[in-house]
Amino acid sequence: MRLRLLLLLALCRAGPAASGRSLSLRGSWRIRSGNGSLELPGRVPGCVHSALLKRGVIQDPYYRFNDLGYRWISLDNWTYSKKFKIPFNISKWQKMNLIFEGVDTVAKVLLNSVPIGRTGNMFKRYSFDITSVVRDVNSLELRFQSPVLYAAQRSKAHTSYSVPPDCPPPVQRGQCHVNFIRKEQSSFSWDWGPSFPTQGIWKDVRIEAYNICHLNYFMFSPVYDNHTQEWSLEIESSFDVVSSQPVSGQVIVAIPKLQTQQTHSIELQPGERTVELFVKINKNVTVETWWPHGHGNQTEYNMTILFKLDGGLSIKKSAKVYFRTVELIEEPIEGSQGLSFYFKINGLPIFLKGSNWIPADSFQDRVTSDLLRLLLQSAVDANMNTLRVWGGGIYEQEEFYRLCDELGIMVWQDFMFACALYPTDRDFMNSVRAEVAHQVRRLKYHPSIIVWGGNNENEAALMMNWYNIPPRELHTYIKDYVVLYVKNIRKIVLAEDKTRPFIISSPTNGAESIKEGWLSLNPYDNNFGDVHFYDYISDCWNWKVFPKARFVSEYGYQSWPSFSTLEKVSSQEDWSYNSKFSLHRQHHANGNNEMLHQIGFHFKFPESTDPLQTFKDTIYLTQVMQAQCVKTETEFYRRSRSEIVDGQGYTMGALYWQLNDIWQAPSWASLGNQLVSPANYHFLSSLSESVGLHKAHVTAIISQQGDTFAFDLETSAVAPFVWLDVGSIPGRFSDNGFLMTEKTRTVLFYPWKPTSKSELEQCFRVTSLMDVY
């Protein structure tokens, strides 16, 4: 399963007819602070923060106010260095490259004290020719510049006009000018996340040595011809031919399960060469398509591709191929103004139900395959079929998309531009162009990705004038917007990938935005494209406040994480709703009050005389409120699929904000331990007005069933919003936050790490509504 196609990394392995050698430079490096006062070992892939934490120089960066206390780390200019021997005879190789799959972010690269290049974009792949510099014993150095200082410097150098926003709102306690650096935009802070602008080598690094020719990358797209009703594969392989003579030979592509095998002759001229092949799939065999979760299987086919070249040189690759088509349908709807906005997969219209994905940690080296699997499996178990990889984060790691392919999760993939205007000077654009080409090539073979999106909310930022740009200056910014997203990103994407749609922004009016010159006067128009909708003021039980839009790609409400989650990053003095800590962790202006305001519509506030209990009960109510609000809103969008009322409706997507959290703080996230109950109910009044509810005594008998634990619950009275909690034991319940009307009910707990019945019994807490009064 691990043998992935990602052949950007592909290397001709040593063998009988070896064309290359590879040396990994992962593992232990030295890290030095700017003035040399700190020097320590650090892992690659990794970052300075993780290294400092591992050595005990700093404590948990997520603890209390440490995000402020550790600000010095991102303001320093760190150096990564490594000494290494080349374990093969370098004189035997015509060409040697130093490859970085990802550097975070701004660094000078020196090999044996010779500058060999610079990096400046976390999302690019870097390859440096080191043939003339490399020795048997080497010292490699990456001299980083603080990303915060670099961004400030670039912004200052942009003298012709300002590119807002300069800084995030003060409540985010973040850093400024993140739009001037090609780095995870939320790493300078967000309205749900801390400011930890990392430095480091965050992806693989290695040396590649080769003779004759080298396969730089290999990628493919399955294409369906509607007329002939046949599948074919477009395969593109890129070579660096270092031989002074042309290299010729054969390529054999085989997909045994589809009884498809084809041989092509090729001749590679010296230099960088690309070979394009068109392979027809045997039409006498039925191709099983890839389907989103809930609509069918995710059938995969094994493909091998063998290059047999002059001089006995042979390069063999294997890959998994999935077949599916995707169309974005924007067409007139009878009885309605505007256009539809929905996706057809394999010709079938599908309602996209799911959520938005943000980076899973401020420190990417902590995001393991296991963590990704748990989060993505949770999304599938909650009956989601779509995640939007939001444009303020990162293009996710390979494993993320591999899991989405396997689980049937559709991915709406943004390019990494969010809630800001961006410069378009030459350096910036060159960097963006390389980033976009690289990411499209890297990711396009994944069937899970069904749409590319140019940015998050930047059409809205401009047209709703978030940054108070004087009208006479607007044209400058509109021009920049079109240059960046239309004339560059869109152009590159369409040239590299014809198998899925591209939309410029989210929200956008789609075809209507294009018609209006790529930006619509009101990108939030319910009759076109997608909308983002947030309303913290109106009563969320009143479905009339929600937009009957074509597609809602963001909506949501905040809640606080469970006390057991907060407890780990706080101390006793922090445990109240208005503590300094509670205000510090809240990055959304007035967010804590908005939650109380929303609770007030339907619930009484906690009545305990114990301040800690009141804090816990308030947290519980924020979660109950969030679950109810998101439920009501989601149900409204699902219902709106099949109706047009007053010309509005045919909603075909609901992606709430947001699936996961980056740290322990109030946010819009819904996962870390509950699933929304699949059973439905309707309250006849607000819970604050209900009479006759008794305090429910809920008990549980826990038993182990293989890897799963059954919680046999029994209640003494009807219990609304039964909330199960097992403290810091990671895992999830099959059901949580439910209305218990029957005397007994069994809920399953799926642990994410091995645990025991007695451990669970010790940590188990249950809360239901009347407990807080």
The catalytic site residues sit at 457, 554
d(CA 399, CA 412): 16
Query: Which region among 67-75, 190-198, 246-254, 728-736 touches ligand BMA (by CB under 6 A)?
Result: 190-198
Handedness of CA 73, 79, 80, 83 (dihedral sign): negative
62, 190, 351, 721: which one binds ligand BMA (CB under 6 A) = 190
Q: Which is nearer to ligand BMA, 254 or 627 (CB)?
A: 627
Residue with CB nearest ligand BMA?
A: 191
65 Cα distance to chain centroid: 26
Binding-residue total with ligand BMA (CB under 6 A): 11
Q: Which is nearer to ligand BMA, 419 or 489 (CB)?
A: 419
627: left (phi over 0), alpha (psi -120 to 50) or beta: alpha
Q: In angstroms, give the least distance from the CB of 403 to ligand BMA.
A: 23
80, 192, 400, 524: which one binds ligand BMA (CB under 6 A) = 192
Q: Which is nearer to ligand BMA, 120 or 556 (CB)?
A: 556
240, 330, 399, 554: which one binds ligand BMA (CB under 6 A) = 554
385, 455, 456, 488: which one binds ligand BMA (CB under 6 A) = 456
Determine if 656 is a binding residue for ligand BMA (CB under 6 A).
no
Q: Prior bond to 755 cis, omega within 30?
A: no
Query: Which region among 32-40, 187-195, 393-401, 605-613 touches ligand BMA (by CB under 6 A)?
Result: 187-195
Give me the residues paired with residue 559 across strands: 667
Q: How far is CA 498 from CA 293, 452, 510, in A?
A: 24, 11, 18
d(CA 355, CA 411): 10
626: left (phi over 0), alpha (psi -120 to 50) or beta: alpha
Q: In angstroms, give the least distance from the CB of 189 to ligand BMA.
A: 11
Q: In angstroms, give the least distance from the CB of 714 to ligand BMA.
A: 40
Q: In angstroms, give the least distance from the CB of 58 to ligand BMA.
A: 27
Determine if 657 is a binding residue for ligand BMA (CB under 6 A).
yes
Closest alpha carbon to 723 in 640, 629, 647, 619: 619
What is the pattern of x (binds ligand BMA, CB under 6 A) and - over residues 503-542? -----------------------------x----------
Determine if 496 is a binding residue for ligand BMA (CB under 6 A).
no
Tokens standing for residue 531: 């909308």
Q: In angstroms, give the least distance from the CB of 520 to ligand BMA.
A: 18
321, 372, 419, 450: which one binds ligand BMA (CB under 6 A) = 419
104, 457, 574, 735: which one binds ligand BMA (CB under 6 A) = 457
User: Which parts of 365-404 interact with ligand BMA (CB under 6 A)?
Assistant: 392
Long-range residue pairs from 730-736, CB within 8 A, at least 24 positions apart, any chain:
730/374, 731/673, 731/755, 732/378, 732/381, 732/671, 732/673, 732/674, 732/675, 733/673, 733/674, 733/675, 734/675, 735/675, 735/677, 735/678, 736/673, 736/674, 736/675, 736/677
Contact in structure between 255 and 262 (CB atoms under 8 Å): no
Determine if 191 is a binding residue for ligand BMA (CB under 6 A).
yes
Straight-line distance from the first to the last Cα atom of the chain, in angstroms, rounded to the nearest whole number: 53
What is the pattern of x (binds ligand BMA, CB under 6 A) and - over residues 666-705? --x-------------------------------------
Angle at 259 between CA 254 and CA 263, to 5 degrees: 40
d(CA 141, CA 145): 13
Q: In angstroms, give the least distance from the CB of 390 to ligand BMA.
A: 6
Backbone angles phi and psi of 492, in degrees to 5: -65, -45
Number of neighbours of residue 573 by Cβ within 10 angstroms = 10
Contact in structure between 622 and 666 (CB atoms under 8 Å): yes
Q: Which is nearer to ligand BMA, 193 or 447 (CB)?
A: 193
Query: Which region among 22-30, 189-197, 571-579, 645-653 touches ligand BMA (by CB under 6 A)?
Result: 189-197
Positions that interact with ligand BMA (CB under 6 A): 190-192, 392, 419, 456-457, 532, 554, 657, 668
